[in-house]
Chain A
Amino acid sequence: MENILVLTHADESGSALSKSSLEAITAGKELAARLSATLIIGVVAKDAAAAAQALASTGARVLAVSGEAFALARYASDAAATEALCRAANATIVLAPGTSRFTRVAAGVAHRLGGFIDTHITALGGKETVEATRWFYRQRVEAVISRDVRPWFLLLDAGTHAAFAGESQPIQIEQVTVSLTAMRTTVSGFRAPAQDAQTIRPDAKMLFVAGAGWTKKQPDGQVHVTEAGELILGFLRATGASLGSSKSLVDQGGEGNSVLPFLTHLNQIGQTGSTPRHQKGLSTCCHGEEPHVVGWRFIGDRRAISLDPNCGWTRGKADVVYVADAFPVIAKLNALLEAKKA
């Protein structure tokens, strides 16, 4: 019989589980029920007792590693913590959210335990075995895989399962002791744009994709980068959308061209960027394959504004393509959205 361990960690507050962790709990419960397997939950947090309260209604055995050393993500301490949890649970299958914290350490821990790992899992299926779905070649090829070796670590992509929601109440947890050697790495904090300048919003319903066309010469023969920036930021303010960008637009900064000052590589979607999950996506001035094929793979409802009626990359990828100049469209759109708000 399989022993399924779901690894979880706290969110930024340190006393509640991250949303991705709760999604992994749902996946673990479903898999354990299907395989008639034992479900164990492992928690890594500064205050694991508080974080684990959300797990009271799972009925699962809860193991925890707690303490100041586990407040922030760091390879050496997180690897030691998750290794200890896996050993204490005697896990044959380990599910974990594909957060930056666990993707940093899970492969290393799998190796320490003589196990194997697969990541970016989007679905778990199979009848008596475990079959995991994941993408290859940057979301271009989809495969279903299986492994007959254990322990098998599976890292789940965010947004692929509903977050577990149970009544929060005190719960009995088993503390697992981890002895750490002297740490060579110190986490000193985070760097982020100011709150009102943050354009990456993973929880937004909409993704707005800005392509290189925003910084090209317009019909009057001039570039209008400042105006483009104001229009894009105006749209983001009005809708709360997250901002994605094509590689070509971000790269212009490194080549000394006029750029939108609020764009960084973190905004980039596609081959060397992210593949975010949002309900809707609106692409503008974007004529490349990567944002439409790779970056949009997990966008539900997709529309594009493009001057090129024959743009092959939007055909078959977007639901609606408006053949138009994005400058006047977004200007009017922002005005309408502001009026609607008022």
Chain B
Amino acid sequence: MANALHIVVCAGIVPDPLQTLEPVTGPAGPGLKNEMVLPAVLDPWAACALYEAAALAAKNPGSSQNPSRVWLVSLGPKAKLQQVMMTVAQKVPFELVPIDGPIGGFPDAHSTAAILSETIAALPGLDRAKLLLFGGWESATRGAGVTLQLVGERLSITDQFQGVDQIEVRDDGSFEVLERVEGGKHQVSVCSGAPAVLGWATGNLAEPRNNPQVGMNNMRTIMPALAKANAVKLEANGLSYVSVSLPKQQRETRVVKDMTPDQIAAELVEWIGAE
């Protein structure tokens, strides 16, 4: 298949989901306690987007003169990006485009989108007519689900899909997309071709196993890219935080150790039936 795809994946880094998070407010606004020392991972839904991008590029390699390419654009503190890339680089081939900026879910999404779109527009070798802009449909930090859409608008892409679980590229360059909608269904759409924005849900791929060969190839370009990463600041855009707190609700859990299955079942029947 000669379809060459230029896939740009936007993915942030987030605290490892198993970490305990505690919000704190400093002079620059809210953040997380010890945020810079919390172990970080690639944003989970965006990671799904990266794996799908790599699989799609492998399936549609293009030609030797005009190959498919996958870029990973990531905004975060340079040191944290480097730490996360040590693992991510071993998963699938990509070209890292790091942006040295703040971490976390509290900065404004519009500012993030502005910087991402400027960076993508300036990518050397990117053919905007072949661009598939990938990312997670929501992040695990802000979880707003708007950044990718804003980047798409800024790049004048008016075919956008969110909650994507599947893309099937056809020989003529058109593609079918499955998007999650309410009630456990997928909406099926056919787009005539790139450019398009796809905000991924989980997709259908398992996390690729670590491949040291892929890791070594990626790291050849990742380290120089990190060294050259531009530092940015994010505007607040009128966003202010009245309060930031942990949920207060802590339940008094009744632990039942001495009931038989019959007794538990009887109690549950009553509970299910109770209004």
Contact = CB atoms under 8 A, between A and B. Distances in A.
Interface of A: 72-76, 79, 99-101, 103-108, 110-112, 116-120, 131, 135-149, 184-193, 198-202, 206, 239, 251, 254-255, 265-268, 271-273, 280, 282, 289-290, 297, 301-303, 305, 309, 314-325, 328-333, 335-337, 340
Interface of B: 14-15, 17-18, 21, 23, 30, 32, 44-45, 48, 105-106, 108-110, 113, 140-147, 149-150, 152-154, 158-163, 165, 176, 178-193, 201-206, 237-247, 250-257, 259, 261-262, 264-266, 268-269, 271-273
11 contacts: A79-B158, A116-B110, A138-B17, A145-B242, A188-B176, A198-B184, A266-B184, A305-B264, A319-B252, A324-B259, A336-B269
Contacts of B178: 191
Given A107-B153, A324-B264, 10 more contacts: A99-B182, A107-B109, A108-B150, A138-B17, A187-B189, A192-B186, A272-B140, A290-B17, A319-B253, A330-B265
A136 B141 contact: yes
Main secondary structure of the interface of B (DSSP, over half): mixed
Given A143-B30, A143-B244, A186-B189, A309 B272 contact: no
A137 B141 contact: yes
Nearest to B243: A144
A244 to B, nearest CB: 11
B96 to A, nearest CB: 22
A302 B105 contact: no
A272 B48 contact: yes
A309 to B, nearest CB: 6
- Interface hub of B146, B176, B201, B254 (most chain A Cβ within 10 A): B146
B162 A336 contact: no
B256 A200 contact: no
B253 A314 contact: yes
- Interface hub of A303, A319, A335 (most chain B Cβ within 10 A): A303
Nearest to A153: B146
A332 B206 CA distance: 35
Given A149-B238, A190-B186, A309-B257, A136 B142 contact: yes
Given A305-B264, A322-B264, A136 B106 contact: yes
- Interface hub of A136, A265, A267, A331 (most chain B Cβ within 10 A): A136
A136 B268 contact: no
A124 B212 CA distance: 50
B128 to A, nearest CB: 15
A265 B143 CA distance: 18
Contacts of A111: 110, 113, 150, 153-154
Given A290-B17, A320-B256, A192 B184 contact: yes
Contacts of B191: 184-185
Nearest to B144: A119
B202 A265 contact: yes
Contact of B143 (A135, A289, A337): A135
Given A322-B264, A333-B265, A143 B238 contact: no
